Amino acid sequence: MNQTRPANQSSAYLKFIAERDQALETLYVRANEEINDLLRRAMSRALGVVSYYYAQIKGDDALTLQGRKLTAAIDWEIAAEFNLTARHMGLVVQELNAAAYALALVGEAEAIGRALKQPAKYEVPRGTAEAQAAEDAQGESVEGRVALELSRVRRAIMDAVELARVKQEPLDETLQRVKAALPKARTVKRPKRKLAKVSEANGEPGDPFSFGFVDDALWTKIVNAYVDAYVPKWRGPESVFDVEIEGLTEEWYGWQVEQYLANEFVSKVRSGQDAAAKQNGVADMQWIAVVDDKTDECCLWRDGLTSQEIEQELKSGKHKDDECDSIVPPAHFNCRCTMAPMLDVQLAGEEFEKPASNAQEFETWLNT
């Protein structure tokens, strides 16, 4: 009978997964910076449009056909700008999702190989990651979802403009009303980089513990995104967009697309992990929950159970009130749970818990 244990009991697995997850976080933060930069540009241009057209509404014209025409022009130009922004932001989300899936899959295979002390395999056929990235976990278009969220911001702006026009408010008061309707900023601390850049990696080359195929163009994008910091291109009025670079903090907009980005990112990472396990004949995964006062009940009872055990629990009817039907994470929107493959430790013998000898450093592995 095969003896299985969760991979996270192997120090070799844990070390590599920690480094891979740090790289994934770097990709996520970079995409978030670019998305917020695009949003800054869109908001700045929206304020410019409001300022240009609303300034042409004079006195009693606010309630006439001319006032309505100028207001409609504001709506049309903001819609055009936001449509363009949605396309750009959608591409950023899709590129992040594709990178997250591929790096999670290939990295999981490497970690499994290091735990078992023998080569693991991976396969990311050309176009597979991109196809996964084009749709979200609910099967919706990523670009369409981003466009929906931007349209909600546009409606909030236009509600503010319409109210200001009806009240015949002056331009400066109108702009303040519009700014109050924009997504609010929140401070996000950038994680300190723990890993050297790929170009700075040194030491013995070592050996990889996984072999397979991943599209060179996609992998090059992953490496470049990991190495190159994103340089913001747009700055809005300081009264709206307050940015502090030197302190390693930046005002990011706490709006729905950021939550959506985080959820889809985690979903693609978990999909990649699951695919790597299946490609290496691993039939079972252990659920690992982050247990604190924010943990949902559905994740608490799953913590420590394998996917097969969770499936049996669900079939037994013990959790009729559980709205989640997942046997691997994520269980719900913004789920923080992760998983570890259940490995046949007989393949590694007494070496299972020990570090892998002559293993490549993470940056060397990433670059090769």
* pLDDT tens digits, 106-159: 999 999 999 888 889 999 988 888 887 777 666 677 888 889 889 999 999 999
**Choice between 345 and 307, residue whose per-residue pLDDT is larger:** 307
Distance separating alpha carbons of residues 327 and 344, to the nearest angstrom: 20
CB 56 within 8 A of CB 279: no
- Give per-residue pLDDT as tens, 322-344: 778 788 888 787 788 889 998 88
- Residue 122 domain-assigned (yes or no): yes
Asked if residue 300 is part of any domain, the answer here is no
| Domains contained in the chain, number | 1
- For the full predicted model, state whether its pTM sits above 0.75: yes
pLDDT of residue 245 exceeding 50, the answer is no
On whether the CB atoms of residues 14 and 107 are closer than 8 A, the answer is: no
Type of residue numbered 280:
N
Q: Region 86-104: what's the mean pLDDT?
A: 92
State the DSSP code for 63.
G
| Tokens (6 digits) for 139 | 């099967």
In this predicted model, which residue has the larger pLDDT, 348 or 367?
Answer: 367
Across the range 211-226, mean pLDDT stands at: 90
- The answer to the question of residue 76 being in a domain is yes
Q: What pLDDT does residue 324 have?
A: 80
The confidence score (pLDDT) of residue 300 equals 86
% residues pLDDT > 70 (the chain): 85
1: Cβ–Cβ under 8 A, 6 or more apart, which residues? none
Q: Is 348 contained in some domain? A: no
Tell me the mean pLDDT in the region 185-213. 61
pLDDT greater than 80 at residue 206:
no
CA dist 52 to 171, 253, 282, 346, Å?
Answer: 10, 25, 61, 72
In the numeric block, the tokens 């013998």 are attached to: 349
SS3 content of the chain, % helix, strand, coil (to 5): 60, 10, 30
Mean pLDDT (the chain, rounded): 82
The stretch 54-60 carries a mean pLDDT of 83
Residue 74 domain boundaries? 10-201+211-282
What's the whole-number mean pLDDT along residues 299-307?
86
Mind spelling out the 3-state secondary structure of 337-366? CEEEEEEEHHHCHHHCCCCCCCECCHHHHH
The answer to whether residue 79 sits within a structural domain is yes
In the predicted structure, residue 71 carries a pLDDT above the cut 60:
yes
Q: Is residue 327 part of a domain?
A: no
For the ranges 107-121, 235-249, 286-300, the maximum mean pLDDT occurs at 107-121
Q: Which pLDDT tens digit goes with each residue over 10-32?
A: 888 999 999 999 999 999 989 98
Average of per-residue pLDDT across 231-252 = 47
